[in-house]
Amino acid sequence: MIQVLRNIAWHSSEKILRMITGFLVGLWLARYLGPKQYGSLNYVMAWLGMFNAIAWLGVGETVMRDMVRDRADEGRILGSAFLIRLCGSVLAVSAALIAAQWVGSFDSTQMVLLAILCIGVPFAETSGGVWMWFASHTNIRPVVIGKNLAMILGALAKVGVIMLGAGLIALSAVLAFESVLMGGFLFGAYYLQGQRFSRWRFDLDHAWKMLRTGLPIILSALVVSLNARVDQLMLGHLTSMADVGIYSAALRFSEIWWVVPPMLVQTLAARYIYPKDLGVQLQTNIARIVAGMAMLSLLPCILLSVVGTNLIDLVLGQQYQGASTVLMIHIWTAVLVFIDAPVNQYLVATNRQAQLIVKSVVLLLLNFSLALLLVPAYGAQGAAIGILTAQALTVLALPLLYSPLRDIFRIYLRAVTEAPYLAKSLARFLAQHLGRR
C-alpha cells in the first residue's frame, strides 16, 4: 500500500510540474511570439495531436495487464508493443504530413514546423511500453524523474529560444528534442534497472491479439483527441492564425484548472466509487462528489471572471486584448468538466464504457456543428461559445434525453439536494478549525 501511495505521489508530481511549466513558459511564449505566430504553432500542434491518437494503435494499459499476469513473458510483450507503436508512429506522422498537404491550409513555414515536430513522435510513443513496465512493478519513480528532467530541460531550452530571439523553427526543434530526450531517459531508466533490450522479441500472434484488443480503444481515443482540438483546428481553417493565437492564450488561463478533477476523482474512486459492495450507496456517493466538484469549480470561474481581463493585459499585453472576452466565456466550461469527471468514473465502475463513447461522439458532433455555425461570424469568441454550449448539452441535457443515461440525470437532481448539506459541513469544519487557531 505504501508503494502504491508513493507511485500516486510521483505521478502527481509529474502532472503538477507539467501544469506549472506549461502554464508559465506557454504564456511567456505567447507574449514573445504574438498572436499570429503563437496561433500558427498551436494550430500545427493541434493538427499533429489529432493524428497522435492513432500512433499507439490502442496498445496501452493492456501491456501492463499482460505483464502483471505473465512475468515470464515480458520480453515478448514489450517487443511486440514496441514494434506496434513504432509502426503506428510512422503511420501517424505520414498521415499528418500527407493530410496537411491535401487540405491546403498549411503554408510553407507550417509544413516545416509539422515535419520537425513529427521527429519526436516515435520517441514519445515507443517508450510507452517502458512506462508500463515500471508501472506494472509499482515503481514509476525512475521514469517520472526522467520525464520531469526532460520537461525541465525542455522548459529551459524554450526560455533560451526566447532570450536569444530565435523563431518558430528553433522552437519546434526544441519541442521535438524534448520528446526525444524524454524517450531516451525512459529507455535509459529501463537499462539502469538491469533490463536488456536484447530480451525483447516480436511475436506476430501476440501483436495481432494486441491490435484486436486495442481497436475499440483507439477509436475512442481518436474521438477524444478530436474533441480536444476541433476548436483550434476549425478556427485556423475558417478564420486566421491570429484568432487561434488569441484563443489558445485564453485557454492557458482556463484549462489549467482541468487537471484538478481527474486527480481528485482518482483519489476518491478507490473508496467511494469502485468497491463492488457499495450497492445503492454508489449513486449517493456520486451525487455528493458531483455536488462538491460543482461548488469547487466555481472558485476559478468567479476568480477569473473578476480579474481575468486585467490579468491578460498584465501578462500578455494589449496584443491579446481579445483573449479576455474568450476567457470570460470559456472559463465556465470548468463547471461542466468538474461535474463530468465523477460521472465518467461512475460509468466505468458500472461497466458502461460504450456509453462513454456515445457521450464523446455526441460531444464531437456538437463541437463540429457549432464551430461551423459560430466561428465564421464570431471568430475566437464563437469557438468559446460553441465549446461551452456543446459541453452543456452533452453533460446536462444528454442524460435527460438518452434513456440509458437517465440515472445520471437523477444523480444530478440528488446532487442539488446534497449541495446545502456539503456547504454546511464545510462551514462547520472551517469554523472548528479556525476556532482552534
CA–CA distance, 105 with 102 (Å, rounded to integer):
8
336-351 tens-digit pLDDT? 999 999 998 888 888 8
- The confidence score (pLDDT) of residue 304 equals 93
* Dist CA 358 CA 403 (whole Å): 12
pLDDT at 132 over 90: no
Amino acid (1-letter code) at residue 244: V
Q: What is the pLDDT of residue 214?
A: 76
The answer to whether the beta carbons of residues 269 and 345 sit under 8 Å apart is yes
Residue 189 has pLDDT above 80, yes or no: yes
| pLDDT value, residue 420 | 78
| Distance in angstroms (rounded) separating the CA atoms of residues 114 and 168 | 11
Average pLDDT, integer, range 211-219: 78
The DSSP output letter for 274 is S
Phi/psi class of residue 338: alpha, beta or left (left: φ > 0; alpha: ψ in -120 to 50)? alpha
Rounded Cα distance, 365 and 71, in Å = 43
Q: Are 320 and 30 in contact (CB under 8 A)?
A: yes
pLDDT in tens, 258-267: 888 887 887 7
- Max Cα distance, the chain (Å): 67
* CA dist., res. 112 & res. 16, Å (int): 31
- Residues 342 and 286: their CA atoms lie apart, in Å, by 7
Closest-CA residue to 89 (of 176, 170, 161, 5):
176
The neighbour count for residue 203, using CB atoms within 10 Å, is 16
Residue 282: in which H helix or E strand, if any? helix 281-316
Q: What cell was used for 221? A: 481515443
Residue 217 cell numbers, joined: 480503444
**Which residue do the cell numbers 504564456 mark?**
27
CA nearest to 158, candidates 29, 48, 20, 33: 29
Please state, as a whole number, how many other Cβ atoms lie within 10 Å of the Cβ of residue 202.
14
Per DSSP, the residues of 131-179 read HHHHHHTT--HHHHHHHHHHHHHHHHHHHHHHHHT--HHHHHHHHHHHH
435 pLDDT band, cuts 50/70/90, is low
pLDDT per residue as tens digits for the range 239-288: 999 999 999 999 999 988 888 888 788 778 777 887 777 778 888 889 99
Kindly tell me if the per-residue pLDDT of 175 is higher than 60.
Answer: yes
Determine the pLDDT at residue 391.
95
